[in-house]
A = this chain, B = another copy of it.
Amino acid sequence: MSPALGNTVSSLQRSGTFINTLIAALTICGQQLFSSFTFSCPCQVGKNFYYGSAFLIIPALILLVAGFALRSQTWTITSEYCCSCVPQLRRISLLERRLACLHFFSITGRALVAPLTWLAVTLLTGTYYECAASEFVSVGRYRAFDNISAGERQEILAGFPCCRSVPSNMILVRDEVALLHRYQSQMLGWILITLATITALVSYSLARCCSPLTSLQHRYWTNHLHNERELFEQAAAQHSRLLILQRIKKLFGFIPGNEDVRHIHIPSCQDW
């Protein structure tokens, strides 16, 4: 790999872009696969809307929850700052509080990638929206619907997303309605993408500008957090080993790996 390219890649990785792109790509592939295997509009009055909405919204909600839940930092922050069950033994300084906010902000950003991608892809594809909105189209201006009662009209409209169940004189109407729904769905998709991009840009700039840390301090802080965790784990491992070795010596009379095994004894039932 050329040094310039490698440099770009490593800087992308550091800013989290790499992982965000990966998440978005996986979401897009997953949506296409999932949709082609499981989605088939019921085409019955009063069911289309719930079916389409469920396929639009529930996966996005689940991806949002998963995005928050899968980050272990979420739980660290939650239990440290929000839980009133834990007695507040130590004061939290203003700087710490602002850093936690910053951290939470970055976690939220990462968690929103997958659900926003799901919504954008499904809206740009349009089939879910077409099914959900099929009953709510106004067909007063089409002459084919003049002599048809409200109940029958509902049924015909609900049958539009399925190709088979439409009377022959309404095929033209159905095609027009389909194009209209596609237009609405894709415009919604573009609006969503634009809003998300602008929000991401503005909030990232604000966070960077109003952060209590300069760029160098931020890098130092990240490094500091990483070192803290690593050294703590090292110390904890050594501490627990020492404790356990003492208990084992009491039980068996010697320390494992030690050659000095004079006082070996068989533990009684009481000791276990």
Contact = CB atoms under 8 A, between A and B. Distances in A.
**Per DSSP, are chain A's interface residues mostly helix, strand or loop, or mixed?**
helix
Contacts of A214: 79-80, 86, 272
Given A125-B38, A272-B217, A179 B194 contact: no
B257 A241 contact: no
Interface in A216-235: 216-217, 219-220, 223-224, 226-228, 231-235
B44 A179 contact: yes
Contact of A162 (B12, B69, B165, B179): B179
Interface of A: 2-5, 7-19, 37-38, 40-44, 47, 50-51, 54-55, 58, 61-62, 65-66, 69-72, 75-76, 78-80, 82-83, 85-86, 89, 124-126, 162, 164-165, 172, 175-176, 179-180, 182-183, 186-187, 190, 193-194, 197-198, 200-201, 204-205, 208-211, 214-217, 219-220, 223-224, 226-228, 231-245, 248, 251-252, 254-257, 261, 264, 266, 269-270, 272
Given A38-B126, A50-B187, A85-B209, 7 more contacts: A4-B16, A42-B182, A75-B208, A78-B209, A86-B214, A231-B244, A243-B266
